Chain A
Amino acid sequence: MIKAVNIIKAFEGRTILNDISVEFGSGQTNLIIGRSGSGKTVLLKSLVGLHDVDQGAIYYDDVCFSTLDFKARKAIRKDVGMIFQGGALLDASTVAENVKLPLDLFTEQSEEEKLERVNYCLKRVNLENAHHLYPSELSGGMVKRAAIARAIVMNPKYLFCDEPNSGLDPQTSIVIDNLIHDITKEYNITTIINTHDMNSVMEIGEKIVFIYEGNKWWEGTKDDILHAENRELEDFVFASAMAKRAKMAR
């Protein structure tokens, strides 16, 4: 479980997150949605500790993460996986080296054990033939899958995904969504996904938090979202002409 309590974050006097309190449960895919510039990436980066919040607290289970120093956070970070928008694979390393890096640094496993784990993770994301490829040799979908493999290699308890579908075609997006969802269920991970892709919301969204201009505007499930009486949320959800027609038909 990850919990944010009254968090406020400002950059150069401009408030980006305004008193947000939210709880994300384990074993479910939690989605943060909102328009571009609404503050959802800042929220995600604050939750994961890349930004320090100005006020409020962030809890990982019972531990107050936001007050910990670098060394104390390190222990928790071994349980954290993150998939960045662009994949963020190390350019100078192969796919296998990228996935193996956390094992090299934080485990005492033998080389065989590490390779076995890397093979398992790459197979889990259907990348078993990409060990020796460099990130520049991969397609967008493959980069995302390699990033997922790296994120799960240490058996994380918490998984953060920043727009995992950006730049992908609809079919590949569904593959990535389902993969994240399956992994979440399989390992009982607390997964938080940042997205503005409504397909993802309807496919895998179990808990949805809508951020509007730095405020938590609405939260609920994917079933609630279609019936929510909230103008800003409706504008966001039914932004496309097709969605509007579907709503009218309903």
Chain B
Amino acid sequence: MFNIFKSIGRYTLLMQKVFSRPEKRRIYYTRIMAEMEALGLNSIGLTAIISVFIGAVVTLQMAITLESPFIPQYMIGYATREVMILEFSSTVVALILAGKVGSNIASEIGTMRITEQIDALEIMGINSASYLILPKIVATVFFFPFLAIFSMLVGIAGGYCIASVTGIMNPTEYIDGLMYCFYTDEISYALVKMAFFAFIVTSISSYCGYYAKGNSLEVGKASTQAVVSSSISIMICNLILTQLLRT
């Protein structure tokens, strides 16, 4: 229990360092762009593959489960849309990105720590926490919501494709279902959640890497810890945000 409070304290102090005034904004702008490419653009492929298959599988499952003369077919499209927008594109994609981006950040910063690159930055008078972590946080908080939108579109398209290819339902009914009872608030809710999750994944993973010590084995442990802690935090945050934003 004491360790948890100690970690929360150290995490808070690290975030205080991260959000202190940057040395030179132009340098940070360049780094933010580089991080957007490394952490955001490079995650598009994975997001697309997972979203398209999940969209297709959800449509198939719904079609099989909701097979009843009393339930209109367009409900399958409606249910797929709701699943994709409300939970999959934000929460599940965030969990997947915690694995990909989180471990990448923790191992990158952890390696910099054990090879004294962070010490070298400190010696130069650079706020290493801000220089290394802030661009990553800004990049992901800004970019991950776009990944969520992309995931929604690709997932819904996956559902449409499976409906067309297998003939399990009428694609026109699927489109009707997508447009049934559509509220744009749901999109805003998903994007707000994704921005929170982006912050959680990046800051926790950076924290795990920043305080890594020892050898490459410890970097591996930090990387694993980053994924586990980020995932748990995402689930807790998801519950709180859903309670706050949807009720």
Asked if A185 is at the interface of the complex by the 8 Å CB criterion, the answer is: no
Asked if A56 is at the interface of the complex by the 8 Å CB criterion, the answer is: no
Asked if B116 is at the interface of the complex by the 8 Å CB criterion, the answer is: yes
Q: Are A85 and B24 in contact (CB under 8 A)?
A: no
A101 to B123, CA, bound (A): 13
Instruction: Output the least CB separation between B219 and chain A (Å).
Output: 13
Q: Are B125 and A88 in contact (CB under 8 A)?
A: no
Instruction: Output the least CB separation between B213 and chain A (Å).
Output: 12
Closest B residue to A79 using CB positions: B125
A89 to B125, CA, bound (A): 15
Number of A-B contacts (CB under 8 A): 60
Asked if B37 is at the interface of the complex by the 8 Å CB criterion, the answer is: no
| Candidates B23, B111, B112, B117; contact of A106 at CB < 8 Å | B23
Asked if A176 is at the interface of the complex by the 8 Å CB criterion, the answer is: no
A102 to B131, CA, bound (A): 12
Q: Are B115 and A101 in contact (CB under 8 A)?
A: no
Q: Are A90 and B117 in contact (CB under 8 A)?
A: yes
Q: Are A91 and B117 in contact (CB under 8 A)?
A: yes
Instruction: Output the least CB separation between A238 and chain B (Å).
Output: 32
Kindly list chain A residues whose C-beta atoms are within 8 Å of the C-beta of B232: none
Known: A74-B125, A77-B124. A104 touches B27 (CB 8 A): yes
A49 to B124, CA, bound (A): 11
Kindly list chain B residues whose C-beta atoms are within 8 Å of the C-beta of A101: 124, 126
Which A residues, 156 to 182, have Cβ-Cβ distances below 8 Å to chain B?
160
Asked if B120 is at the interface of the complex by the 8 Å CB criterion, the answer is: yes
Kindly list chain B residues whose C-beta atoms are within 8 Å of the C-beta of A88: 115-117, 119-120
* Chain B interface extent, by class: 10 to 19
Asked if A105 is at the interface of the complex by the 8 Å CB criterion, the answer is: yes
Kindly list chain B residues whose C-beta atoms are within 8 Å of the C-beta of A48: 123
Instruction: Output the least CB separation between B177 and chain A (Å).
Output: 47
**Which of B23, B27, B119 lies at the interface centre, i.e. has the most chain A CB atoms within 10 A of its CB?**
B119
Instruction: Output the least CB separation between B50 and chain A (Å).
Output: 27
Known: A82-B120, A84-B120, A88-B120. A105 touches B126 (CB 8 A): yes
Asked if A209 is at the interface of the complex by the 8 Å CB criterion, the answer is: no
A84 to B112, CA, bound (A): 13
Which B residues, 123 to 138, have Cβ-Cβ distances below 8 Å to chain A?
123-127
A105 to B25, CA, bound (A): 9
Q: Are B117 and A105 in contact (CB under 8 A)?
A: no
A144 to B23, CA, bound (A): 27
Asked if B122 is at the interface of the complex by the 8 Å CB criterion, the answer is: yes
21 A-B residue pairings within 8 Å (CB atoms): A49-B123, A50-B119, A75-B125, A77-B122, A82-B120, A84-B119, A88-B115, A89-B117, A89-B120, A90-B112, A91-B111, A91-B112, A91-B115, A104-B24, A104-B27, A105-B27, A105-B124, A105-B126, A106-B23, A150-B120, A154-B124
Write the residues of chain A forming the contact surface with B, with a CB cutoff of 8 angstroms: 45, 48-50, 70, 73-75, 77-78, 80-82, 84-86, 88-91, 101-102, 104-106, 150, 154, 160
What 16 new A-B contacts, CB under 8 Å, besides A82-B120, A105-B126?
A: A50-B119, A73-B125, A78-B125, A80-B123, A80-B125, A82-B123, A85-B116, A86-B116, A88-B115, A88-B119, A90-B112, A102-B124, A102-B125, A104-B27, A105-B24, A160-B123
